[in-house]
Amino acid sequence: MKRILLVVLITWCSVAGAVSSEQMDEAQMAAALDQLGQLLGLAPVEPAELSRKVEEIGELRFRHTVPIDFMSREELKQYIRELFDEEYPVEFAEREERALRGFGFLEDGQDLRTIREKVLNENIAGFYDERPGVKKLFAISSGRTLGVMNQLILSHELRHAVQDQHVVIREKLIVDSDYDDRRLAALCLFEGDASVLMEQYLMSGVTENMPEMANLFQVLDQGLSGADIAEMLGVGPALKTAPPIVQEQLIAPYVQGRALAMAAYKKGGFALLNELMERPPRSMEQVLHPEKYLDGPGSSDEPVPVKLSETRDAEVDFEGRLGEFLIQVLLRGGPARAQANAAAAGWGGDAFAVLRTSEGFRLVWRSVWDSVEDAREFESALVTHMDASIGNAFYELESSGKEVLFVRSQFR
């Protein structure tokens, strides 16, 4: 889905640890954060002042003013419904769903489009609509002042707006599917960068008497899964019960993306982050292992291009690339979960395609690994996973040197 860039509740719910360990609704959270803001010296501000501070912290100037508006949850539901009709049509969502079902990310009967719409309705706290002709910010808030909660949300979203004015974000996301390694990797940089700016905005009000505030966001440094974070923080039930692939796709840009952006920030501040926007990471491998990206194009670990000869003269329903992170998510869903991260490490490149056949659909997935040993480790974990999830009679697996070919036929 060509996406609106979001800051979901998990981004600012991590602040709740400084206020209370109990679940809070949005109004309670806003009130608690306003009290916290008084301690931090973050008083309500005007939009122009908020924009100026985002420019100052991020070392990047706006080229023109970005409108800021407020929206209720009911208004958000209608907005998302219209957005889905325009940007995430049923036919595309069904093809994306088939691909995920072919891998086993989704079960029969799970409606991806409906699940995603419910998750977004419950968990969006604010967003920047980066569609051509829109380019506007929204806070989902009953209050219409820029108290601390809305400052945090909109500082994040204003950073997206200034990113977009300098590099045109949607041109950097490369492919349409959110469940593709290339798009997810680029998105991690933009969301991670905006999350770091939001943290620095909050920290700008910290006094010497409150050094513990520097640890507000430490929950995001604990290597937790999307399911772990959804369970810990005040997200809605739709996200807590969503398939892991949906959880991870939504949460990874904020968690793995923040880790990447923080590594860049520590290395070169916002000057480096501003430079990296021109060349986002090309794979989630580069996100998960920042040294493979931050050392520069000449020394980074670039994905190996993979061709699928099986698509020749075939009717392709959907195609894409999983990458290291989504392979981790796949393997964590079964008996190979303990080996998932190690089995996905050593990824060199992959490509998959869903092909239409007279009997239904056929999934072809070819992956290339850094070494023969890496390929064998992945193959072993994949066999363990697939035998348990779909049964060994429903797929074929071939390996040769550093390559592994997985084929699943006759699924719907």
Q: How many domains in the chain? A: 2
Query: 343 vs 338, 371, 377, 406, CA distance in Å?
Result: 9, 12, 6, 15
H or E stretch including 382? helix 372-389
How far separated are the first and last CA of the chain, in Å rounded?
22
Residues 235 and 329 in one domain: no
Inside any domain, residue 351: yes
**Do 185 and 284 touch, CB atoms closer than 8 A?**
yes
Inside any domain, residue 289: no
Q: What is the pLDDT of residue 218?
A: 58
Q: What is the pLDDT of residue 230?
A: 62
Inside any domain, residue 291: no
Which phi and psi angles does 49 have, rounded to 5°? -70, -40
Q: What is the extent of the structural domain holding 326?
A: 309-411
- Alpha-carbon gap, residue 5 to 3, rounded angstroms: 6
Nearest alpha-carbon partner for 238 in 391, 120, 348: 120
Place of tokens 């290395």: 267
Structure tokens at 259: 């880790």
Residues 360 and 227 in one domain: no
Residues 341 and 266 in one domain: no
Inside any domain, residue 221: yes
Residues 257 and 326 in one domain: no
Structure tokens at 49: 């002042």
Q: Give the residue ranges of DSSP H helices in 18-131.
A: 26-40, 47-58, 73-87, 90-103, 112-123
Q: Which of 34-48, 198-212, 354-368 has the lowest average pLDDT?
A: 198-212
Place of tokens 């509740």: 9
Angle at 139 between CA 133 and CA 142, to 5 degrees: 135
Q: Which of 227, 258, 276 is the last residue of a domain?
A: 276
Is 293 a residue whose pLDDT tops 50? yes
- Alpha-carbon gap, residue 216 to 17, rounded angstroms: 7
DSSP type of residue 244: H
Angle at 392 between CA 391 and CA 395, to 5 degrees: 100
Mean pLDDT of 38-54: 83
Residues 168 and 25 in one domain: yes
Nearest alpha-carbon partner for 88 in 111, 55, 122, 69: 111
Sorted by sequence, the CB contacts under 8 Å of residue 280 that are 6+ apart come out as 172, 185, 186, 189, 190
- Alpha-carbon gap, residue 119 to 116, rounded angstroms: 5
Strands (E), 264-394: 315-320, 347-357, 360-369
Q: What is the pLDDT of residue 144?
A: 79
DSSP type of residue 303: P
352-400 tens-digit pLDDT: 999 999 889 999 999 999 999 999 999 999 999 999 999 988 999 999 9
387-397 tens-digit pLDDT: 999 998 899 99
Inside any domain, residue 294: no
Which phi and psi angles does 362 have, rounded to 5°? -130, 130
Residues 165 and 243 in one domain: yes
Residues 174 and 112 in one domain: yes
3-state secondary structure of 25: coil
Residues 255 and 320 in one domain: no
Residues 240 and 323 in one domain: no
- Alpha-carbon gap, residue 18 to 202, rounded angstroms: 13
Mean pLDDT of 201-210: 65
**Do 322 and 350 touch, CB atoms closer than 8 A?**
yes
Mean pLDDT of 164-173: 96
Is 213 a residue whose pLDDT tops 60? no
Strand 5-8 with 124-129, pairing: antiparallel
Cα torsion for 2, 254, 248, 86, to the nearest 10°? -20
Inside any domain, residue 353: yes
3-state secondary structure of 100: helix
Nearest alpha-carbon partner for 332 in 237, 178, 228, 232: 228
Q: What is the pLDDT of residue 50?
A: 94
Q: What is the pLDDT of residue 21?
A: 39
Residues 123 and 25 in one domain: yes
Inside any domain, residue 154: yes
The pTM (predicted TM-score) of the whole model is: 0.90
Inside any domain, residue 281: no
171-182 tens-digit pLDDT: 999 999 999 999
**Do 126 and 140 touch, CB atoms closer than 8 A?**
yes
- Alpha-carbon gap, residue 213 to 193, rounded angstroms: 20
